[in-house]
């Protein structure tokens, strides 16, 4: 059955991931703009659209990151609500997809489904939902239900949530209605709603998923259209594709049913030498001496400001057993003591200072494409040829000009190689990604 | 005829514009000289989320305030606060919030919560507004410092936990919100909050929690008396906005003929020629700070309002000019919003 055999499309697409938090976004350079002004968003989304990007993503974090019990001071923080910003950007763009990262634990299904189909209709069929499942009492402290969900249940809950949302989106029989009421009785709450909105030009919002555990991958294989993955390096990407194809087929979907777009960073210039120089400059701005110490402090659970960032790693032991979620999902649950021993040995081995060591750990080494425009274009064409990925979700390290070199120089190189779109295929995100119209979900299904 | 009262503002409710013709409707309202566009959160088939429709309107307009209705009972106060602050950013400081308290059992069932009614509705509204306001203040205006020398993007001393808890006598399910906000303080500091006058007062939403009230009466004749009553009951500091349905003679059809097909709204209604509406609004603007018009059909009535009614009001001097580069606070005559958490007094020495 050909449905079970993966067929590379021979194409790659780009999305932009406007992070809004973390150390990846450089705020210390003269050209670093505002992270909240609408003009920053307008400029970068319009640049992306000029470069025929498939999608514009916004991340989400529902509690301000903390460090040693206080808000974290060193990195970019504070960002607009995803769907509010995307609804605004819908009025100043035409073709680019608008992807909102939204959490299944701290939203209500009927409300979120309604808001997502509102965005979908307002934008003419360009909305998508990047499903994330971050769950912890610390984030729950901002919400009526509090920290009600066990970590082990997060995907069970997420899947029931997504199923309910799909039934809400499918509930209008025709463009004029009427809607079928949607009922769901779950472990944590019930939903009983008569949906208000018809299907959009792309039928329903596209579903992205970001989460890397085996349960997360299975959830994506069953439910998602696209995975926002953490596997951009070539061999790793090929392996991840194999894994997702197997899981999709096992879930009864086609081998090509789920697309993959890894998170990535691009540091480009006309020559490889310039690109390497630029990379050193970017890294020095991402991880300064204070960030290097603070990074270790989260794993040590104590203040380390008396340590020299250009000296060796602290010899004292961490005071915590496990790192907490307070700096975001990436830091959750690491075994601190074990890690400290391992890191001290590694840094000593390689002769790295605190700052050099932290840079090597945090600089998204694994997700970075560095080089000349033409060399990186050749490299990406190879991804397209074998179908390692369907595209890259680029986190610009500079706002709002961080896509200029990519759109002005890399995109034309890719277009010359025939691996990148020269025009939008259509006006909806589903068309532009080449996704099939979804099958109507079974309204009788009990989840 | 010249009038002696201070000029007022006009708001138009755009719920009827849906999402297909939203850009056209909001641009037409701005060009006509309306000061405010409001977006009902109507539980009606075909109505998209009000806050998102307001957000869509933000970047394509320049002077008109964009003010959605957002429910306070079955929504998450933390999300609402973030969404409204974001609306202020995308509209350049022209956002406001009509805080509503949903009374329908359907809204409760949709989120799987127990149905809230009576006194508890106002308590929910008051709590949600308080959460919103605390979160908006939770970043002082100058919390983002971008200090390269010390490596600090934020001055943490200028961030504050909201630490909200529902009061002990809270009739609905109690809850707490930690904070700080996940977005810096909105451009206006505090968005103007509006609510129905029936929701505000002693034992309800405290007067100090809102900046303006919406006043409704069954007939135009009773509206003036109602405005006076509300002012007497709530004191003089609140802006008062009167609610009025309008159905105009339009496109060769008499208003009376169009009225026949309209559902009852409970609001005062003017039906007739444009000239009569100019006279009525002249009078009402002598009592209220602003009027919110609910056109029977946005495309039909907006055309008449734009061609005949607003020019008439401008001639008589009852209408404020458009606010160039102003905020919604400016329009309502509110001063700069003080931050409850501010650690440094602005403009003073020691
Ligand atoms: C590329 C990528 C981007 C992510 N972005 C977000 C985000 O913006 N907000 C969030 O709450 N979680 C985000 N997550 C985290 C996932 O939601 C989180 O890991 C979740 O708990 C899924 O868990 P799992 O990795 O254990 O499957 C992201 C994850 C990945 C891989």
3-state helix vs strand vs coil in chain B, percent to 5: 35, 20, 45
Cβ pair A85:B86 closer than 8 A: yes
Reply yes or no on whether the pLDDT at A185 is more than 60. Answer: yes
- Interface contact A122, partner B, CB < 8 A: yes
The three-class DSSP label of residue B16 is: helix
Which of B153, B175, B187 best probes binding to A when mutated, by most A CB atoms within 10 angstroms?
B153
Nearest to A197 by CA among A219, A224, A179: A179
Instruction: Return the ligand 1 atom nearest residue A132 CA.
Output: 17
Per-residue pLDDT tens over the stretch B81-131: 999 999 999 999 999 999 999 999 999 999 999 999 998 999 999 999 999
Query: Nearest CA of chain B to the CA of A87: how many Å?
Result: 5
Cβ pair B106:A193 closer than 8 A: yes
Query: Nearest CA of chain A to the CA of B290: how many Å?
Result: 27
Cβ pair A81:B82 closer than 8 A: yes
Reply yes or no on whether the pLDDT at A330 is more than 70. Answer: no
A67 burial via Cβ count (<10 Å: 0-12, 13-18, 19+): middle
Cβ pair A84:B87 closer than 8 A: yes
Would you tell me how many other CB atoms lie within 10 Å of the CB of residue A25?
22
The three-class DSSP label of residue B3 is: coil
Instruction: Supply the pLDDT for residue B18.
Output: 84
- Interface contact A177, partner B, CB < 8 A: yes
Query: Nearest CA of chain B to the CA of A36: how many Å?
Result: 7
Reply yes or no on whether the pLDDT at A443 is more than 50. Answer: no
C-alpha B196/C-alpha B71 separation (Å) is: 12
Cβ pair A70:B51 closer than 8 A: no
| Interstrand relation of B176-177 and B212-215 (parallel, antiparallel or unpaired) | unpaired
Chain B residues whose beta carbon lies within 8 Å of the beta carbon of residue A104: none
Angle (CA) A290 A365 A328, round 5°: 55
Per-residue pLDDT tens over the stretch A49-96: 999 999 999 999 999 999 999 999 999 999 999 999 999 999 999 999
Q: Supply the pTM of this predicted model.
A: 0.96
Instruction: Supply the pLDDT for residue A331.
Output: 65
C-alpha A129/C-alpha A132 separation (Å) is: 9
Angle (CA) B38 B268 B121, round 5°: 60
| Interstrand relation of B144-147 and B152-154 (parallel, antiparallel or unpaired) | antiparallel
Instruction: Supply the pLDDT for residue B6.
Output: 87
Averaged pLDDT for residues A201-229 = 96
Instruction: Return the ligand 1 atom nearest residue A59 CA.
Output: 8
Structure tokens at B260: 């026949």
Least confidently predicted of A81-95, A416-430, B33-47: B33-47
């Amino acid at each position: 059955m050909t449905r079970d055999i993966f067929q590379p499309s021979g194409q790659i697409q780009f999305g932009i991931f406007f992070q809004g938090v973390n150390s990846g976004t450089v705020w210390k350079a003269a050209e670093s703009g505002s992270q909240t002004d609408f003009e920053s968003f307008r400029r970068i989304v319009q640049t992306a659209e000029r470069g025929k990007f498939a999608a514009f993503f916004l991340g989400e974090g529902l509690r301000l990151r903390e460090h040693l019990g206080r808000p974290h001071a060193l990195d970019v923080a504070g960002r607009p609500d995803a769907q509010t910003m995307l609804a605004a950007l819908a009025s100043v763009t035409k073709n680019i997809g608008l992807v909102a990262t939204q959490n299944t634990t701290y939203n209500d299904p009927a409300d979120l489904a309604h808001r997502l189909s509102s965005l979908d209709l307002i934008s003419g069929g360009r909305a998508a939902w990047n499903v994330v499942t971050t769950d912890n009492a610390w984030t729950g402290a901002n919400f009526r239900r509090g920290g009600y969900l066990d970590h082990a249940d997060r995907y069970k809950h997420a899947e029931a949530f997504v199923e309910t949302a799909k039934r809400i989106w499918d509930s209008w029989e025709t463009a004029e209605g009427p809607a079928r009421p949607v009922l769901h009785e779950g472990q944590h709450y019930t939903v009983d709603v008569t949906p208000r909105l018809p299907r959009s030009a792309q039928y329903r919002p596209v579903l992205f998923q970001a989460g890397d555990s085996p349960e997360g991958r299975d959830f994506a294989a069953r439910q998602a259209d696209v995975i926002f993955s953490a596997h951009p390096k070539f061999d790793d990407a090929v392996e991840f594709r194999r894994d997702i194809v197997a899981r999709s087929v096992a879930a009864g979907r086609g081998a090509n049913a789920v697309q993959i777009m890894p998170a990535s960073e691009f540091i480009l210039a006309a020559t490889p030498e310039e690109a390497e120089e630029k990379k050193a400059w970017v890294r020095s701005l991402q991880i300064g001496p204070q960030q290097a110490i603070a990074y270790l402090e989260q794993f040590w659970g104590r203040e380390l400001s008396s340590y020299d960032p250009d000296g060796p790693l602290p010899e004292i032991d961490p005071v915590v057993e496990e790192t907490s979620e307070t700096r975001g999902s990436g830091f959750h649950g690491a075994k601190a003591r074990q890690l400290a021993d391992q890191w001290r040995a590694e840094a000593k081995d390689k002769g790295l200072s605190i700052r050099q060591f932290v840079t090597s750990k945090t600089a998204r080494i694994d997700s970075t494409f560095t080089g000349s425009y033409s060399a990186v274009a050749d490299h990406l064409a190879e991804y397209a040829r074998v179908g390692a990925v369907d595209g890259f979700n680029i986190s610009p390290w500079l706002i709002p000009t961080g896509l200029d070199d990519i759109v002005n120089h890399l995109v034309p190189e890719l277009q010359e190689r025939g691996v990148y779109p020269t025009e939008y295929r259509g006006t909806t995100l589903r068309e532009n990604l080449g996704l099939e119209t979804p099958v109507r979900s079974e309204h009788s299904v009990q989840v | 005829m010249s009038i002696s009262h201070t000029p007022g503002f006009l708001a138009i409710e755009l719920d009827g514009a849906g999402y297909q013709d939203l850009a056209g409707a909001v641009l037409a309202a701005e060009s006509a000289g309306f000061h405010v566009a409001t977006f009902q959160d109507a539980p009606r088939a075909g109505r998209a989320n009000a806050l998102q429709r307001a957000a869509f309107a933000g970047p394509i307009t320049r002077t008109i305030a964009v003010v959605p209705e957002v429910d306070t009972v079955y929504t998450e106060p933390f999300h609402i606060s973030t969404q409204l602050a974001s609306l202020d950013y995308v509209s350049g400081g022209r956002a406001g919030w009509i805080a509503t308290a949903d009374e329908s059992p359907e809204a409760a069932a949709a989120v799987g919560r127990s149905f809230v009614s009576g006194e508890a509705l106002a308590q929910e509204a008051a709590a949600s507004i308080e959460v919103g306001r605390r979160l908006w203040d939770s970043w002082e205006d100058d919390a983002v410092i971008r200090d390269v020398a010390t490596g600090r993007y934020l001055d943490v001393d200028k961030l504050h936990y909201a630490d909200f808890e529902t009061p002990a006598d809270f009739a609905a399910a109690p809850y707490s919100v930690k904070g700080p906000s996940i977005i810096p303080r909105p451009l206006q500091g505090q968005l103007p909050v509006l609510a129905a006058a029936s929701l505000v007062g002693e034992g309800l939403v405290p007067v100090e929690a809102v900046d303006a009230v919406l006043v409704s009466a069954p007939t135009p004749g009773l509206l003036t008396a109602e405005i006076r009553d509300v002012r007497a009951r709530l004191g003089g500091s609140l802006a008062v906005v009167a609610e009025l349905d309008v159905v105009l003679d339009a496109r060769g059809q008499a208003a009376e003929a169009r009225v026949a097909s309209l559902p009852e709204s409970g609001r005062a209604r003017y039906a007739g020629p444009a000239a009569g509406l100019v006279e009525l609004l002249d009078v009402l603007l002598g009592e209220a700070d602003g009027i919110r018009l609910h056109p029977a059909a946005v495309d039909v009535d907006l055309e008449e309002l734009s061609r005949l009614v607003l020019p008439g009001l401008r001639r008589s001097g009852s209408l404020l000019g458009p606010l160039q580069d102003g905020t919604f606070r400016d329009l309502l005559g509110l001063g700069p919003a003080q931050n409850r958490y501010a650690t440094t007094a602005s403009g003073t020495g020691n």
